[in-house]
Amino acid sequence: MEELISVIVPIYNVEKYLNKCIESIINQSYSNLEIILVDDGSKDSSGIMCDNYILKDKRIKVIHKENGGLSDARNVGIEKAKGEYIVFIDSDDWIDEKMIEILYNIIKKNNSDISICDYFLAYNEEIQTQKEDIEIINLSNIEALKTIYDKDLGVCMIVAWNKLYKRNLFKDDIRYPYGKIHEDEFTTYKLLYKAEKISYTKQKMYYYRQRENSITSSFNKKRLDCLEAFDERVKYMKYIVKNESLYKKTLKEYYELIIVMYFKYEKFYSNDKRTLKTLKKKALKIFKENKNSFQWTIKQKIIFGSFVINPKIFRIIEKISEKKRRLKDEL
């Protein structure tokens, strides 16, 4: 008999996209599902739409709650889940009809704790096709953590929603942080570390909708949550994982992210000198203590080092370097 899989869908004001999402779940080829729709205090018709689906499919459970954000909605779903496995689907996205079946089969065949698929960036609702039976890559927890920083696999590894997890990974109170955006940056690496084996397929089965007013497409002060997530991750790699190369890699990525966020923040909040000063101070501390251990070329050390001297100098050097790269590409 098929094992029960809990599908958790956090929902907030997505009436335009919700049907597409839920229909893609109830039409899965894997049928033994517990579908948990968590209405996070929606002000549009999303909550009513959820209630209507209870009449359509007995596998659906609806939870109505006060608005607490994406993390809180996911956590409520985790607490209510009864399945042996958990999968998260964001309510404005949708999934291939075989996604859950394929991820489940990958876990069973490879004796994994987490299975991961790739995803499409969906700018419309067009269904994209690809060949099946794509190679499966098996990773240890340390190998999986290293892929977080891979330019091709990084996003795929860190997001919450393209994965099938054994539910027992959440037993030791691993939860998403209340009130934070970039919530998967705070959490996924802990789940990867707790897993003994992670299996990844390049097969794209998750449709990640791109829309202008989504959390990930706009900039506000809450975007700095990602720096808090990285600060926690640095400590986790040093004191929990205790892997020196991962610790140094995380610290290097943290430093470079501070620079990126500094200039984004400056663009929108140039008058907030206190926060900008704090960001520069953080970068300076990391650079002073670790500049010789980061795997930078001499050129990179000059460029990234210029930021702590003066961010304006960094900007000038970066623009010159970018211009040289473009000219080189044109030749």
Instruction: Cite the residue boundaries of each domain of the chain with CATH code 3.90.550.10.
Output: 5-215
d(CA 61, CA 66): 17
CA 190 to chain centre: 12
CA 234 to chain centre: 17
pLDDT of 151: 86
**Among positive and negative, which fits the CA dihedral 114, 222, 119, 42?**
positive
- Could you tell me the pLDDT band of residue 208, with boundaries at 50, 70 and 90? very high
Distance set, CA 133 to CA 73, 152, 164, 278 (Å): 34, 20, 18, 49
More confident position, 191 or 213: 191
pLDDT value at 227 more than 70 = yes
Strands 136-140 and 197-209: antiparallel
Composition of the chain by helix, strand, coil, percent to 5: 50, 15, 30
d(CA 176, CA 75): 6
pLDDT value at 2 more than 90 = no
| Overall CATH class of domain 5-215 | alpha beta
Give backbone dihedrals phi and psi of 208, rounded to 5 degrees, phi first: -95, 105
Mean pLDDT of 144-166: 94
- Per DSSP, the residues of 29-91 read S---EEEEEEE-S-SSTHHHHHHHHHHH-TTEEEEE-----HHHHHHHHHHH--SSEEEE--T
- Per DSSP, the residues of 163-198 read EEEEGGGGTT---PPTT-SSHHHHHHHHHHHH-SEE
pLDDT value at 214 more than 60 = no
- Could you tell me the pLDDT band of residue 299, with boundaries at 50, 70 and 90? confident
Using a cut of 0.85, tell me whether the model's pTM lies above it. yes
Mean pLDDT of 256-280: 94
Mean pLDDT of the chain: 91
Q: What is the DSSP letter of 217?
A: G
CA-nearest of 8, 16, 17 to 40 is 8
Mean pLDDT of 93-122: 95
- Per DSSP, the residues of 239-299 read III--HHHHHHHHHHHHHHHHHHHHHHHHH-TT-HHHHHHHHHHHHHHHHHHTTTS---HH
For 23-36, the pLDDT digits (tens) are: 999 999 999 999 99
For 53-92, the pLDDT digits (tens) are: 999 999 999 999 999 999 999 999 999 999 999 999 999 9
Strands 60-64 and 33-39: parallel
